[in-house]
Amino acid sequence: MSQQLSRVVLIGQDIELRIVSLIVRCREIAKEVLLFDTGSVDDTLALAREVDCEIIPFSEYPSPSELCQVLQRIGHSEGITLFIPVSPTWKLSDLPLSVNRAREGWDVHHLYRAEGDGDPDEVVLSETELGHLIVSKAGCSALAELEPSATSASLDASLKVRLVKATKPIQLAQRQSLATASRFAQLFYWMLESKHPLLLFGIPGIVLFVLGYRLSGDLASMFTELNSTSIGVTLITIAMTLIGLFAMMVALILYIMGKQVARVQHQYNWPKGNA
C-alpha cells in the first residue's frame, strides 16, 4: 500500500497575492503545509503567519538535495512530501497533476527543466530548475546524502525513481462567454442580476439630465414668442432635467445606504435573508 501525501512545501518569494489561497488549497490535500521562503520583501511572510504556516528561510534557491536536508533537519521526514516552486509561470491548475503523481507511490519523482536533450539519468540534480519534487521518507534520506555533482544514477537502485523533463505546455484557444468577455460586461451583468440602484436609477437619470440640458440650450432660438406650445415644451424640458438630477441623487443615496447597511450587518453578524 502506497504512503499518503502528508505535507506540501511551497518554495518562492514575494507571493503575497497568492500565498493565502495556496496554503488553504494545499491544506485540503495534505495535513501539513510549509513555506520555504527564498527572500521575500513584501507581506508574504506576514500573511503566512496569519494562517499559521511554518516558515523556513533560505538565502538562495535550494537544490533537491538541500531541500531534503532541511526537511530532515527540522524533523519532517515521515510520509510523502511534495515540493512546489511557486514561480510567476506556475498556476494553481498545475497542482492536481503534482498531487496525482504523489499518489502513485514514487520514492523520488522529479519534474525538472534543463537545457539540452540529454539522458535524464545523466542530469546533475543540483543544476536543474525544479518543476516539482516528490519524495518518500526513503527517497528524502537518499537525496539528502547526495553530493552536489550527483545524478539520479547515484541513487539506490531499490528506490522507485523517475525524472521527467518538463515541456512547454500547449496553449489552447479559450472560449469566452459574454459575461467574461470584458470587465465592463462583468460589471453590467452583475448590476442586472443584483438590481443595483446605480443601474435602476443612475443610468435613466443621466439620460434624462443630459437630454434636458441639451434641449434647454435650444429653447431660446426655437421659440420667438410666448404661447402655450413654447410654455409646454419649456416645462417639459425643465421637468426632464430635474427628474434626471433627482434620479441620479436617489441612485447615489441608495448605493451609500446599501453599503452602510451591509457594514452594520457584517459588524453585528446579522443573519442574511429576507425579513
In terms of domains, do 38 and 142 share one?
A: yes
| 117 located within any domain | yes
In terms of domains, do 46 and 96 share one?
A: yes
In terms of domains, do 131 and 217 share one?
A: no
pLDDT over 80 at 189, yes or no: no
In terms of domains, do 88 and 113 share one?
A: yes
| 273 located within any domain | no
In terms of domains, do 186 and 145 share one?
A: no
In terms of domains, do 137 and 114 share one?
A: yes
2-6, 9-13, 108-112: least confident range: 2-6
Q: Which run of H or E residues covers position 46? A: helix 44-50
d(CA 232, CA 238): 10
| pTM of structure | 0.58
Q: What is the CATH number of the domain that holds 126?
A: 3.90.550.10
In terms of domains, do 21 and 80 share one?
A: yes
DSSP summary character for residue 124? B
Q: Total domain count for the chain?
A: 2
| 254 located within any domain | yes
| 108 located within any domain | yes
Average pLDDT over residues 152-177: 70
* Residue 148: strand, helix, or coil: coil
Residue 101 cell numbers, joined = 503523481
18-22, 50-54, 112-116: least confident range: 112-116
| 170 located within any domain | no
| 275 located within any domain | no
Q: What is the pLDDT of residue 87?
A: 83
* Domain stop point among 100, 132, 165: 165
* Domain stop point among 104, 130, 165: 165
| 264 located within any domain | yes
In terms of domains, do 151 and 199 share one?
A: no
In terms of domains, do 226 and 157 share one?
A: no
Q: Which run of H or E residues covers position 71? A: helix 64-73
Confidence of residue 89 (pLDDT cuts 50, 70, 90): confident
Cα-based distances in Å from 153 to 107, 114, 115 = 14, 17, 19
Average pLDDT over residues 156-178: 67
In terms of domains, do 151 and 251 share one?
A: no
Confidence of residue 10 (pLDDT cuts 50, 70, 90): very high
* Domain stop point among 118, 137, 165: 165
In terms of domains, do 255 and 189 share one?
A: yes
Q: What is the pLDDT of residue 170?
A: 44
d(CA 14, CA 98): 22
Average pLDDT over residues 126-139: 86
Domain range enclosing 264: 178-268
| 129 located within any domain | yes
Q: What is the pLDDT of residue 275?
A: 39
Mean pLDDT of all residues in the chain? 78
Q: What is the pLDDT of residue 274?
A: 42
pLDDT tens per residue, range 50-78: 989 999 988 777 888 888 888 888 886 67
In terms of domains, do 224 and 99 share one?
A: no
